[in-house]
Amino acid sequence: MTSETVIEFAKQGIILTILLSTPMLALGLIVGLVVSIFQAVTSIQEMTLTFVPKIIAVFLGLLLFAPWMLEKITSFTNRIIENIPMYIR
């Protein structure tokens, strides 16, 4: 296994990690922004109002995006396993 192969593995892994985390991070960001605007308008500064909606949004995002995420991870793993003979050379 050459250093180029290892670097390519790392690059693919980082890209996959960013791709899989983006929907949940975006949902948390959007919900956080909406809650912040709500807090600014109503002058309510409750700490749980900040965290609970974000947690719920991320969990709902996980439920929504889980099949897509599983397909991406499975195809990445299958591609690596199928190419093991090529990597050993």
DSSP per residue over 7-67, as a string?
A: HHHHHHHHHHHHHHHHHHHHHHHHHHHHHHHHHHHHT---HHHHHHHHHHHHHHHHHHHHH
pTM score, whole prediction: 0.79
Reported as a single tens digit per residue, the pLDDT across 17-65 is: 999 999 999 999 999 999 999 988 988 888 888 889 999 999 999 999 9
Domain range list for the chain: 3-88
